[in-house]
């Protein structure tokens, strides 16, 4: 194949321009008359649609999410866009099409019509609609696991000599390892593939991308089979790699990084019978004070797909800075309150287009026109807001004259009081003369019915009915075969006894109709010629009123829809304003500062904090950091920071300094290394990660294009990997995809391996050295470790080797029970009552002691156990294990050992081949070996 193929799985969005506020979207299904309504809280679904370019894959959208994959036949690579959030305007899809230029599109038969139209317009070649079953995630997974790229082990592993090949496997694990090396077992090949798949992309969390890959590979197999009759199927496809696809000007952050950084945190309902969730302690929960459903959706999009455009970030910072000015605080709060009155107007417009607008929809439209007018007035009161981008966009988009015309037309047409009373949309008087006449007749129908009843009453015998009424059922009429006008008389006792209901001449008993039963315990209903006459002239009066009101409402909707484009645009900008006002509120509440954005690849922070951790403790200790991307071995980029104020803190811009790309943090157990790693990492990326201010005193930040983490290992019984394998997958993903502008956070990588063999330490050092060897392409790395042997003289990361690494550690303090400070360097023993204080203060240099013994004592381990463990550890560190064998034992312990030795000796001397005459002789011999009486042995 000489062209490039794009396979995209797309899920139909709501026909509105945005998802509904309650998470529900109506889905239009191509080639199917059914409309389905789904709840996007149910999460990902397997339905998809895909576009494809020969040699690539396409987007997969469902309920505002998209996943994509495409194949390039030039370099034989599959590019994967992991599931991310899509906008109602298909911005991600448009960006993807601009980058990929697919030759072939594969689209699901259940794709959204608007998405299909977009792909057809962008298609320069082949366009095909495929069955939805081709885009199921499980099909994509099976296709991937069959690729030789994943299932076949590298040649260097298969060709490596096995020193134990001549020996028989000693256990099941060695047997499986031997089979795995040979690569002959199909089950093991699939096992290899399932493990190695995570090295390329986190597809377990991307069902839409998996569906795209499945449809793409199916298409490539069919195309290959047409030209090669001896095709080997999926295994025969020439795929040399799987690469994460990054969209232009958007940060790449996968599910593991989102989880580790706690960007989102869903808390389940307390009841096990409820599937509801709420946002817990997370960055999204901290920033989210949005007042509109569109604003909340946009905020989530910004956090899932952060912008990398300095122009966009600076424009948003300008807005937040404007809203946080003291003179603008009250105005900003009022503006935010006005946004609370704006409902999901795009959803309302969709209901208007479909002719299904409810009273609440019309009320929401009128409220929109009112609150936007109030909002426009408040924009003019903002101080120093003339150059703020969001303010200029709002002034342009809020066509108050047109919106006022819409609100006036709706308000003057709909009778709100009557509509609320009747629970349907009603029209005001004097809007339509014909409607007014019908309502006049209907409102006077009580008098007509009274006169008719008075005329019928003399013709009814007194014994038949003491009273009667003429009633009108508006839902009935001439069109339903049983008229709406009926004579109602009380039920007689003899009629209840079973003799039957007596019917007068000219009357017809109405026992039931297509809608209801006209008989109750107290009354029965009849029809006569007078009722038929009323049916003919007035029977359809009420339905005709409703029909005429529906016609007027339809005309009103037709007059409003020409303004739909302007209203939708204004709603989108109001959603952006909602998010920016949230950031301003968070900046004021949590004391965030505006960072200085830089085109240089630098992260320079003064007094940085973690936005979540500081909310959970009484006192938070901030710290500084300087880290420069691209400062690997042989590369020494200079960056501009502030002048030194004597405390190594960030200050005014203007001084060029050198920095390192790798920062290693050490310290005692439980001293907060993980939190410090996330603190520095979060402060360093929170500005480009979201347009909010940063939790720091001041900062100079460059753009971070990707974030990778090895912080938390999410194990599961459904995964075939061990905890260490999962860690390796996360690091492998980072090594394959990191650039000089990427950020990698590593916490205790390698701790799951055998420490005695230094495998973990070697892996940790090897990863850092590999990244440093990239030179100017070295990413920014913040790592923590307890592998202190790496930093000793001659160690792999010995500071004397002058590797471009910044070493920091978190200080701790030891004190006696009386408060006297202990020198931890000179004190090697643990004393009773000794306390350890974690200062959470990062200083330069290394900490080569984990203080595990003191931490154990602090957290309740008995002192004698701690002292013994410390003694054994010291002997192990100097290879003095024989001393443990020479330790003296007590007399009691010596006696027990002698007795046990004697029993063992007598047992070995027992000739088991001698045939015993009876069971009693065997017991006697056993008692002799154990040194017990025969009678006692029998009893036992």
pLDDT recorded at residue 649: 40
Give the residue, 733 or 687, on which the prediction is more confident.
733
pLDDT value of position 227: 65
Band (42; pLDDT cuts 50, 70, 90)? very low
The helix-helix angle for 433-443 and 445-456 (nearest 10°) equals 40
Q: Residue 631, exposed/middle/buried by CB under 10 A (0-12, 13-18, 19+)?
A: buried
Mean pLDDT score, 903-923 = 77
More confident residue, 587 or 10: 587
Among 1-10, 391-400, 650-659, which stretch is predicted with the lowest mean pLDDT? Answer: 1-10
The residues, ordered by sequence, that sit 6+ positions from 853 with a Cβ below 8 Å of its Cβ are 830, 866, 867, 869, 870, 873
Is 70 exceeded by the pLDDT of residue 124? no
Helices (H) and strands (E) in the chain, counts: 33, 29
pLDDT cut 90: percent of the chain above it:
21
More confident residue, 722 or 606: 606
What confidence score (pLDDT) does residue 478 get?
Answer: 43
Q: How long, in residues, is the chain?
A: 940
Residue 33 confidence (pLDDT) = 28
Cα–Cα distance list, 333 to 291, 340, 375, 724 (Å): 11, 11, 11, 50
Task: State pLDDT tens for residues 210-243.
Answer: 888 888 888 888 887 776 655 666 766 778 778 8
Report, as an integer, the average pLDDT of 9-15. Answer: 40
Please, which residues have CB within 8 angstroms of residue 604's CB and are 6 or more apart in sequence?
625, 626, 627, 639, 641, 650, 659, 699, 700, 701
Average pLDDT, the chain: 77
What are the residues facing 602 on neighbouring strands?
A: 628
Task: Decide if 128 contacts 52 (C-beta within 8 A).
Answer: yes
What local confidence, expressed as pLDDT, does residue 340 receive? 92
pLDDT, mean of residues 491-503: 73
Q: pLDDT at residue 54 above 50? A: no
What mean pLDDT do residues 672-682 have? Answer: 64
pLDDT digit string, tens, across residues 729-787: 889 889 988 999 999 999 888 876 654 446 788 889 999 999 999 999 999 999 988 88
Q: What is the mean pLDDT of residues 585-595?
A: 92
pLDDT, one tens digit per residue, over 403-422 is 999 999 999 999 999 999 98
Here the tokens at position 706 are 């990707």
Q: Would you report the helix, strand and coil content of the chain in percent, each value rounded to 5? A: 45, 15, 40
Dihedral, 189, 193, 194, 195 alpha carbons, nearest 10: 100
Residue 729, SS3 per DSSP: helix
Give the model confidence (pLDDT) of 505-541 as tens digits. 878 887 654 444 455 667 888 888 888 888 777 767 7
d(CA 666, CA 933): 63
Q: What is the pLDDT of residue 833?
A: 58
Tell me what pLDDT residue 329 has: 95
Give DSSP secondary structure letters for 432-494: -HHHHHHHHHHHTHHHHHHHHHHHHGGGS-TTT-S--EEEE-TT--GGGSS-SEEEEEEPPHH
- Neighbouring residues of 882: CB distance < 8 A, sequence distance ≥ 6: none
User: 483 near 470, Cβ under 8 Å?
Assistant: no
Q: How far apart are CA 733 and CA 728, in angstroms?
A: 8
HEC readout, 491-521:
CCHHHHHHHCCCCCCCCEECCCCCCCCCECC
Q: What is residue 34's predicted lDDT score, i.e. its pLDDT?
A: 32
Contact in structure between 823 and 830 (CB atoms under 8 Å): no
Q: 174: Cβ–Cβ under 8 A, 6 or more apart, which residues?
A: 164
Please compute the mean of the pLDDT values over residues 790-797 and round it to a whole number.
84
Q: Report the distance separating Cα 194 and Cα 138, nearest Å.
A: 13
Average pLDDT over residues 543-565: 91
Q: Which among 665, 621, 878 has a CA at the least distance from the CA of 784? A: 665
pLDDT recorded at residue 57 = 46
Report d(CA 741, CA 803) in Å as an integer: 20
| pLDDT value of residue 13 | 37
Q: What is the pLDDT of residues 688-729, one digit of tens each?
A: 455 578 888 988 888 898 889 888 777 766 666 778 888 888
pLDDT at 883: 76
């Amino acid at each position: 194949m000489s062209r490039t193929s794009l396979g995209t799985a797309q899920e139909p969005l709501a026909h509105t321009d945005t998802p509904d506020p309650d998470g529900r979207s109506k889905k239009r299904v191509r080639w199917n008359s059914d409309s389905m309504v789904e709840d996007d809280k149910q999460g990902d679904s397997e339905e998809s649609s895909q576009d494809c370019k020969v040699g690539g894959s396409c987007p997969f959208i469902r309920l505002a999410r998209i996943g994509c994959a495409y194949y390039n036949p030039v370099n034989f690579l599959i590019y994967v866009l992991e599931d991310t959030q899509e906008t109602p305007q298909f911005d991600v899809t448009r960006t993807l099409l601009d980058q990929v230029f697919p030759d072939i599109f594969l689209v699901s038969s259940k794709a959204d019509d608007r998405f299909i139209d977009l792909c057809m317009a962008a298609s320069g070649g082949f366009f095909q609609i495929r069955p939805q079953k081709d885009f199921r995630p499980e099909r994509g997974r099976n296709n991937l696991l069959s690729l030789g790229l994943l299932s076949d082990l590298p040649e260097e592993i298969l060709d490596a000599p096995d020193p134990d090949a001549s020996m028989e496997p000693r256990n099941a694990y060695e047997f499986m390892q031997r089979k795995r090396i040979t690569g002959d077992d199909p089950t093991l090949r699939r096992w290899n593939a399932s493990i190695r798949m995570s090295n390329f992309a986190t597809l377990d969390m991307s069902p839409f991308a998996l569906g795209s890959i499945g449809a793409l590979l199916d298409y490539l197999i069919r195309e290959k089979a047409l030209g090669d009759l001896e095709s080997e199927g999926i295994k025969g496809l020439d795929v040399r790699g799987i690469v994460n696809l990054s969209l232009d000007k958007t940060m790449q952050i996968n599910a593991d990084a989102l989880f580790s950084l706690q960007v989102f945190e869903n808390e389940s309902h307390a009841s096990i019978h409820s599937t509801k969730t709420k946002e817990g302690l997370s960055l999204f929960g901290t920033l989210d004070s949005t007042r509109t459903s569109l604003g909340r959706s946009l905020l989530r999009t910004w956090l899932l797909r952060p912008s990398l455009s300095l122009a966009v970030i600076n424009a948003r910072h300008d807005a937040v800075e404007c809203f946080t000015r003291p003179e603008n605080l009250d105005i900003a709060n009022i503006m935010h309150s006005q946004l609370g009155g704006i409902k999901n107007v795009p959803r309302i417009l969709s209901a208007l287009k479909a002719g299904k607008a409810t009273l609440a929809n019309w009320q929401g439209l009128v409220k929109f026109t009112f609150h936007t007018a109030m909002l426009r007035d408040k924009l003019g009161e903002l101080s120093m807001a003339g150059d703020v981008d969001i303010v200029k966009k709002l002034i342009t988009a809020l066509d108050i004259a047109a919106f006022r015309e819409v609100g006036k037309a709706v308000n003057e047409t709909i009778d709100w009081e009557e509509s609320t009373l009747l629970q349907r949309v009603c029209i005001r008087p004097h809007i339509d003369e014909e409607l007014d006449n019908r309502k006049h007749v209907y409102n006077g129908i009580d008098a007509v019915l009274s006169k008719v009843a008075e005329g019928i009453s003399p013709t009814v015998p007194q014994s038949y009915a003491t009273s009667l009424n003429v009633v009108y059922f508006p839902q009935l009429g001439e069109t339903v075969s049983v008229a709406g006008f009926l004579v109602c008389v009380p039920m007689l006792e003899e009629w209840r006894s079973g003799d039957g209901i007596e019917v007068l001449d000219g009357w017809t008993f109405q026992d039931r109709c297509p809608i209801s039963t006209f008989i109750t315990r107290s009354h029965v209903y009849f029809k006569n010629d007078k009722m038929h006459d009323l049916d003919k002239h007035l029977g359809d009066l009420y339905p005709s009123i409703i029909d005429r009101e529906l016609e007027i409402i339809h005309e009103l909707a037709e007059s409003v829809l020409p303004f739909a484009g302007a209203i939708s645009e204004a709603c989108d900008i109001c959603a952006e304003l909602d998010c920016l006002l949230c950031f301003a509120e968070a900046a004021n509440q949590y004391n965030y500062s505006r960072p200085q954005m830089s085109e240089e690849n630098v992260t320079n922070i003064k007094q940085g904090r973690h936005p979540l951790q500081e909310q959970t403790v009484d006192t938070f200790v901030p710290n500084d950091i300087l880290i420069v991307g691209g400062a690997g071995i042989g590369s020494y980029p200079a960056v501009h920071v502030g002048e030194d104020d004597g405390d190594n803190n960030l200050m005014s811009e203007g001084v060029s300094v050198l920095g390192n790309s790798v920062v290693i943090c050490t310290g005692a157990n439980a001293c907060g290394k993980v939190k410090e790693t996330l603190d520095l990492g979060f402060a360093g990326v929170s500005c480009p990660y979201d347009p909010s201010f940063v939790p720091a005193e001041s900062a100079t930040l460059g753009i971070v294009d990707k974030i990778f983490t090895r912080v938390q290992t999410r194990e599961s019984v459904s995964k075939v990997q061990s905890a260490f394998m999962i860690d390796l997958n996360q690091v492998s993903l980072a090594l394959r995809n990191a650039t000089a502008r990427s950020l990698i956070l590593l916490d205790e990588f390698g701790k799951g391996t055998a420490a005695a063999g230094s495998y973990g330490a070697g892996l940790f050092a090897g990863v850092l050295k590999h990244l440093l060897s990239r030179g100017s392409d070295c990413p920014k790395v913040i790592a923590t470790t307890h592998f202190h042997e790496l930093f000793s003289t001659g160690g792999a990361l010995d500071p004397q080797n002058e590797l471009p690494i910044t070493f920091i550690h978190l200080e701790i303090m030891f004190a006696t029970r009386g408060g006297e400070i202990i020198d931890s360097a000179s004190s090697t023993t643990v004393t009773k009552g000794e306390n350890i204080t974690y200062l959470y203060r990062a200083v330069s240099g290394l900490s080569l002691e984990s203080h595990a013994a003191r931490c154990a004592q602090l957290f309740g381990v008995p002192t004698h156990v701690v002292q013994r463990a410390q003694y054994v550890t010291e002997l192990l560190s100097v290879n003095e294990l024989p001393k443990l064998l020479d330790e003296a034992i007590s007399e009691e312990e010596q006696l027990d050992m002698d007795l046990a030795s004697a029993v063992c000796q007598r047992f070995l001397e027992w000739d088991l081949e001698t045939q015993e005459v009876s069971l009693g002789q065997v017991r006697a011999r056993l008692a002799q070996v154990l040194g017990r009486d025969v009678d006692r042995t029998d009893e036992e």
